[in-house]
Amino acid sequence: MSLVGFKGRNHPQQVASTGRDVDTDDRATTAEVFGPLDAEFGPFTIDVAAAAHNTKCSRYFDARRDGLAQSWSGEVVWCNPPYSAIEPWVRKAWHETHRGDCQRVVLLLPANRTE
């Protein structure tokens, strides 16, 4: 197999110009992933990028209550962001923690993002 002429490209769900992929963005974090992180860094007080059917905390922000527009002050934050638009969530987490407003943020990111 030759890679001559090969042009790397992001998966369509990682390209903002393709728009939001509801099935990709609405995935739940499994208990096997969440449990150990909650034990080590929690207990988390709010899930900032969730839906009623997949939240990991009793309090959460969903698409209607946009976690990017809300204050995370005083919270221990769990965030599994929508994969179609990860950058704004990373920026929000950075700003919230560097202002000292929230206690802690754990942001789950896919390992295959190289851009």
pLDDT tens track for 50-79? 999 999 999 999 989 999 999 999 999 999
> At residue 49, does pLDDT exceed 90?
yes
Using CA atoms, how far residue 69 sits from 32, 33, 64, in Å, is 29, 26, 10
pLDDT of 104 reads 86
Angstrom distance (rounded) from CA 4 to CA 1: 9
**pLDDT at position 82, please?**
86
| pLDDT at res. 1 | 43
pTM, two decimals, is 0.76
Calculate what percentage of the chain has a pLDDT beyond 70.
74
